[in-house]
Amino acid sequence: MVTKGPLPYDAVVAQVTRLLAPVLGESMAIASTNAHGQKLAIQDGHVTPDQVEALVTKLGSGLAVFVGREKAAALAAEMRAAVAQLGSAP
Amino acid sequence: MTLRRVQLAFMVLALAVTVLYVGRTIAGPVGIYQAVLTDGLLVRLAGLAKLALLILAYVHAQATAGRLEADNPARAPWRLLALALGGFALGQAVLTSYQMVRGLSPFPSLGDVFFVAGYPLLIASFFGFIRTYREAGYPVGSAGEHTLIAAAVAVLAGLVAVPILRPVIAAGGTPVQLFLNVAYPSFDFVLLVPMITLVRVAWPFRGGAIFNAWAAILGGVVAICAGDLLFAWFSMLGSVHLDPLLHGAYLVGYVCFALGTRLHRDLVSA
C-alpha cells in the first residue's frame, strides 16, 4: 500500500510519468499511464491506495519486456515511493 | 580507458573510415588515396572495424537476452537477434581474413554462408519483438494495424523488388553469384516488412531510452539494406570504383547495430 488516503489522480500521473519518461519517452509515459488509469474507474479525480497500487503494478509488468523484471520492480518501487511522498505532503 | 570508451573509440574509428571512403569515392584513387590511404589499407581497416562492431553488437544482444528472465517474452527475440548478429560476425570474420591477407573482398566467399544464414534469424527476431511489445500493453497499435502495415509494405516492396531484381538476374554470373545477388536484396525486401512495423511500434517511445536503442538498430538495418542493394547493382554493372560506398554503408550499419544493442543492454542493466 503506497498511501493511506485518496490522492489527486493528476498528481499521481505526474509523479509516475516523471519516472517513466526517461525510459518510455514523455508522451508514451503519459499515454500508457492514462491508458491503465482509464481502467481504474476513477471518481472525483481521486485515486484510492488500491487503485494506485494496481496502476503501478500494471506499469511495472509492462516495463519488464524492455528492462527485465528486476529493473521493472525497482522502477515500480521508485514510483510507489514518489506517490507515497504525495500522501505525506502537508 | 574504460571498456565503454574503447567501444566508443571503435565506433568513431569506423565512422572516420566511412568518411575516408566517401572521400575515396569522390576523389578516386589519386593524391593521398594513391600514396597512403590505398584501397588495400582502407579495406583492411574497414574489415577490422566491421568485425569488431559486429562482435560488439553480438555480445550486447546476447547479454541483453541473458539478463532477461527465462520466461520473459522478449528473451527469445533477443536471442534470435544475437544469433543473427553472430552469423554476420562469423561471415565478416571469414571475409576479413581474406581482406587482411590479400587486401581484396572476394565474392562469393565462405563468409556468405554465414551472412545469408543471419537474415532469416534477423527477420524472425523482428517479428518476435513486434508481437512481444504489442502484447505488453502499450499503445503501439493493434495486431490488425500491424498486419495492415506489413501487408502494405510487402506489396510496395514487391513492386519495387521486381524492377530492381530483373536486371540483376539478367546480368548473370556464376550460379552462386546470381543466387547471392538475388538473395541479399530479396532478404532485405522481406526484412523491410517487420522493420517498418517496428518503426511504428518504436515511434511512440520517442524521447526515451527505448526509442534511442531501437532507432539505432533500425537505422542499422536501413544502412545494410542500402549496402546490399548497392552491392547487387554495382556487381551487376561491374562498378568496382563505387565499392567504397558499399563499405561505408555497412560500416554505418554496423556502428548503429553496436550502438543500439549497447543502449538496450544499458536498459536492462541493474
pLDDT (tens digit per residue) in B214-236: 999 999 999 999 998 888 777 77
Residue B197: band (very low, low, confident or very high) from pLDDT cuts 50, 70, 90? very high
Distance (Å) from the C-alpha of residue A29 to the closest C-alpha of chain B?
8
Distance (Å) from the C-alpha of residue B121 to the closest C-alpha of chain A?
20
Compare CB distances from A25 to B139, B205, B268 and report the shortest one's residue.
Answer: B205
The predicted pLDDT at position B6 comes to: 77
Rounded distance between C-alpha atoms, residue A20 and residue A18, angstroms: 6
Q: List the one residue out of B9, B37, B40, B43 whose CA is nearest residue B23.
A: B37
- Chain-chain contact of A68 with B139 (C-beta, under 8 angstroms): no
Closest chain A residue to B77 measured between Cα atoms?
Answer: A65
Residue A38: band (very low, low, confident or very high) from pLDDT cuts 50, 70, 90? confident
CB atoms within 10 A of CB B270: 8
Residue A90: band (very low, low, confident or very high) from pLDDT cuts 50, 70, 90? low
- Chain-chain contact of A28 with B139 (C-beta, under 8 angstroms): yes
Chain A, chain B: beta-carbon pairs less than 8 Å apart? 76
Closest chain A residue to B270 measured between Cα atoms?
Answer: A71
Rounded distance between C-alpha atoms, residue B222 and residue A56, angstroms: 37
Residue to test with chain B: of A19, A20, A28, most B Cβ within 10 A: A28
The predicted pLDDT at position B177 comes to: 87
Residues of chain A with C-beta less than 8 angstroms from the C-beta of B205: 24-25, 28
- Chain-chain contact of B210 with A24 (C-beta, under 8 angstroms): yes
- Chain-chain contact of A29 with B208 (C-beta, under 8 angstroms): yes
Contact status of A44 with chain B (Cβ, < 8 Å): no
Closest chain A residue to B204 measured between Cα atoms?
Answer: A28
Tell me the pTM. Answer: 0.90
Distance (Å) from the C-alpha of residue B193 to the closest C-alpha of chain A?
22
Total domains, chain B = 1
Range of the structural domain that residue B69 is part of: 3-269
Instruction: Report chain B's terminal Cα–Cα distance, integer Å.
Output: 22
CB atoms within 10 A of CB B35: 8
Residue B98: band (very low, low, confident or very high) from pLDDT cuts 50, 70, 90? very high
- Chain-chain contact of A21 with B207 (C-beta, under 8 angstroms): yes
Closest chain A residue to B131 measured between Cα atoms?
Answer: A65
**Residue A43 forms beta bridges with which residues?**
A46
Distance (Å) from the C-alpha of residue B205 to the closest C-alpha of chain A?
5
- Chain-chain contact of A71 with B205 (C-beta, under 8 angstroms): no
For cell 514518489, name the residue.
A82
- Chain-chain contact of A68 with B72 (C-beta, under 8 angstroms): yes
The predicted pLDDT at position A6 comes to: 83
HEC letters along chain B: CCHHHHHHHHHHHHHHHHHHHHHHHHHCCCCHHHHCCCHHHHHHHHHHHHHHHHHHHHHHHHHHHHHCCCCCCCHHHHHHHHHHHHHHHHHHHHHHHHHHHHCCCCCCCCHHHHHHHHHHHHHHHHHHHHHHHHHCCCCCCCHHHHHHHHHHHHHHHHHHHHHHHHHHHHHCCCHHHHHHHHHHHHHHHHHHHHHHHHHHHHHHHCCCHHHHHHHHHHHHHHHHHHHHHHHHHHHHHCCHHHHHHHHHHHHHHHHHHHHHHHHHHHHHCC
B 203-222 near A (Cβ less than 8 A)? 204-211
pLDDT (tens digit per residue) in A46-57: 888 899 999 999
Handedness of CA B116, B120, B121, B122 (dihedral sign): positive
Contact status of B130 with chain A (Cβ, < 8 Å): no
Inform me whether the pLDDT recorded for B10 exceeds 90.
no
- The CATH number given to whatever domain includes residue B71 is 1.20.1070
Handedness of CA B15, B126, B222, B263 (dihedral sign): negative
Rounded distance between C-alpha atoms, residue A16 and residue A52, angstroms: 10
Distance (Å) from the C-alpha of residue A70 to the closest C-alpha of chain B?
7
Inform me whether the pLDDT recorded for B2 exceeds 80.
no
